[in-house]
A and B are shown apart, each in its own frame.
Chain A
């Protein structure tokens, strides 16, 4: 049982990768550490539960990485995906610090493995966790507990007593009532607000009600809100979230990675009026993965349907729910609740516009449409061989970009420009410092581990004077 009357050196709020890296590094620095996780034990770890790899720079191939990935190349990738919306100094610092992470994370009991089947494109850049994100969490928790870190679950921080830039105490809501918790330093690693529909609605309006959340229902952004209200400087676009198109049959929360669909490039995507709305063949899939969530969010009722024919089934990763199949386009429309005439017209118009070419889904091939708006620039093949299939898709929200501003010590900065005295942030709650928009696989975990480790170390130094 946690001793609520004790004054802890370091209070870590959150229970994912960033939080545990902070807790471990603070404990290794000699601090007494308490971790407060708002979720029950099974759901501990926020989005880390659903992760599978981390992107770290390295100068040579390793046991599990197929080749070097230099700091400069990492920086180029970050610059590209963020469109320049990043803090270059902080980002380059993080990239440099990502190098020793390959060793440091393994020293905390996490085991690496080569890239998983179907993810060969990440084999050189990303190190995968053996057993996935929950296995990684299990290892970090075991290590933290062996170092004397205490963990309380179902422990939601509902108030923070912050005086200027100094954290004093937190109010913790537990099943047995509220507790006041004092600590000499605070590490906020409690994620974003993607599961908070009230907050999402502030920016997205009623369409937000049709969003599906890929992580647990516990990512409510409560700590982020408390910090911003207490005068911590905000960073990142408050209106934006990372959204991908996922199977509309997925549960409202925590469907994780397995509800994703990789098949947009193999067919056409129509909205509830059975009308196409974007070029499905614009770019190779991994690069386009993240635009479809937002595209579908902009369609009526936030629903769309990926439609393809028999030859394409089997060309992409198997998915959780079976494709909806029918012998004709009209029958398929009926099963999807679409207007059969409209869907037939859309498919016929598309088929008529397809120019001959040699299909190759691994490159930007020469199969395209002509005279069609919007066009399909690559991989355009007529949809003509029954059975016909469809997957319904909705926006699946992964994470939000709004966060707390930090410096390279992971120390929060206050809105008045001063540095916080004893408050640090790590992980998704400060990801906006380096990731102003966009995403590339494994970056969230890099941000979490690098800044988690630093935040824990600095918090311990501060707390122990």
Chain B
């Protein structure tokens, strides 16, 4: 009898990449065990299948929130010879899927050395804004104090600012929509209605599956904590508040004719300040958790991508809050250039960095919402 133990779970299905072949092997192992089915969405979704194509595996990879509970709970995790490490394997598959869905395809290489790429783009962007400010403004204007409505626009005309950021934002939206479309096609264009979208939105908003089945993440060891969920909430809602702040300010400008900067008690500033604080604490907490994370769970080659996105969010908040505090001082000009440079690079790199995880995970949750209904209705294959 040949010794197959080292290849336990190996199937005959052909896969596009080695990591998808490994993911297939693990899902075959896990499907014959099923002890983890109560932990998250990945395992119930797995149980609906007996074989796993690339699209299925990309779906499961993006459905995984990386809470690590299944690794701490697995009797077949390394050093066991079955070598079952679902969080890490799916993390790599997930990252590779981001590159595969990137639009335009020519830019998918940005995912390969993502930390470096984003650092360079951010540096160039900041440099361009500072240079632009210096070229267009005389030193007394750039280094002077400005107060009252329209103060920012003395350094950069509003139409320019709106034009540049509108274009960057639009580009990011189009590129990400194309990526989302590619993902949706890859996972077989599942049918989904408003009910599924609502359900997925609820799951995403509460990070329902970043809780190790109820107790929290297994980050450093098998002792669960809820820190990552808390910090992700701070990050996500901080980001939304900042986005809301910008949206309200845009409304003020065009609908009410009120020009920034706004007083501290006005809505855009309140929203931006709250969001900015969230975006300082959240990414810092996530970064700290990342540094303490059990190395066995970490996809080391994507360290740069993970860190770059958190650092960009942190810098966005830091420069934004600094601008708020120091906006009446001569530092305002340079801080504005700095903040705009960071925000601009955040926008244009959004489709080529960790930001897209939210998009694909949301779509995976939409599909899972449908599958969960099929399980409940008894219309699923193995329900």
Residues of A whose CB lies within 8 Å of any CB of B are 42, 49-50, 52, 111, 113-114, 116-118, 128-135, 138, 142, 248-251, 254-258, 303, 314, 317-322, 392
Interface residues of B in 1-26 (CB under 8 A from A): 1-5, 8-12
* Minimum distance in angstroms from A105 CB to a CB of chain B: 15
A248 to B1, CA, bound (A): 8
**Number of contacting residues on B, CB 8 A?**
41
Closest 6 CB pairs of A and B: A132-B35, A131-B73, A135-B73, A251-B5, A113-B38, A249-B4
With A132-B73, A249-B1, A258-B76 in contact, do A117 and B222 touch (Cβ < 8 Å)? no
List residues of chain B with CB within 8 A of the CB of A257.
33
Q: Which of A138, A248, A249, A317 contacts B73 (CB 8 A)?
A: A138
Would you call A318 and B28 a contact (CB within 8 A)?
yes
| Residue of chain A at shortest CB distance from B221 | A138
* Known interface pairs A249-B1, A249-B5, A251-B81; A133-B29 also in contact (CB < 8 Å): no
Say yes or no: A256-B39 contact (C-beta < 8 A), given A111-B213, A131-B70, A138-B222: no
Interface residues in B25-54 (C-beta closer than 8 Å to A): 28-29, 31-39, 44, 47, 50
Other A-B pairs, 19, CB within 8 Å; known A114-B38, A117-B34, A249-B3: A49-B75, A117-B382, A118-B382, A131-B35, A131-B38, A131-B39, A131-B70, A133-B35, A133-B75, A135-B35, A135-B73, A249-B2, A251-B81, A255-B5, A256-B76, A258-B29, A317-B32, A318-B28, A321-B8
Q: Could you tell me if B8 and A320 are in contact, using CB atoms closer than 8 angstroms?
A: yes
Contact of B28 among A49, A133, A250, A320 (CB under 8 A): A320
Shortest distance from the beta carbon of A113 to any chain B beta carbon, whole Å = 4
* Complex interface: chain B residues within 8 A of A317 (CB): 32
Known: A117-B382, A142-B223, A392-B1. A134 touches B8 (CB 8 A): no
Q: Is B90 an interface residue (CB 8 A)?
A: no
Shortest distance from the beta carbon of A93 to any chain B beta carbon, whole Å: 30
Asked whether, in the complex, the Cβ of B9 is within 8 Å of the Cβ of A320, the reply is yes
Q: Which residues of B contact A (CB under 8 A)?
A: 1-5, 8-12, 28-29, 31-39, 44, 47, 50, 69-70, 72-77, 79-81, 213-215, 222-223, 382
A251–B47 alpha-carbon span in the complex (Å): 24
How many whole Å from A421's CB to the nearest CB in chain B? Answer: 37
Residues of A within 8 A of B34 (CB): 116-118
CB neighbours of A249 from chain B (8 A): 1-5
Least CB distance, B301 to chain A, in whole angstroms:
25
Write the nearest CB–CB distance from A314 to chain B, whole angstroms.
Answer: 7
In the complex, 20 of the A-B residue pairs with CB atoms within 8 angstroms, ordered by the A residue number, are: A42-B77, A42-B79, A116-B35, A117-B34, A130-B38, A132-B75, A135-B35, A135-B73, A142-B222, A250-B5, A251-B8, A256-B33, A257-B33, A258-B33, A317-B32, A318-B28, A318-B32, A320-B29, A321-B8, A392-B1
Q: Which chain B residues lie closer than 8 Å to A319 at the CB level? A: 32
Q: Smallest CB-CB separation from B79: which chain A residue?
A: A42
- Which residues of B sit under 8 angstroms from A320, Cβ to Cβ? 8-9, 28-29, 32
CB distance from B208 to the nearest CB of A (A): 15
Contacts of B29 in A (CB 8 A): 258, 320
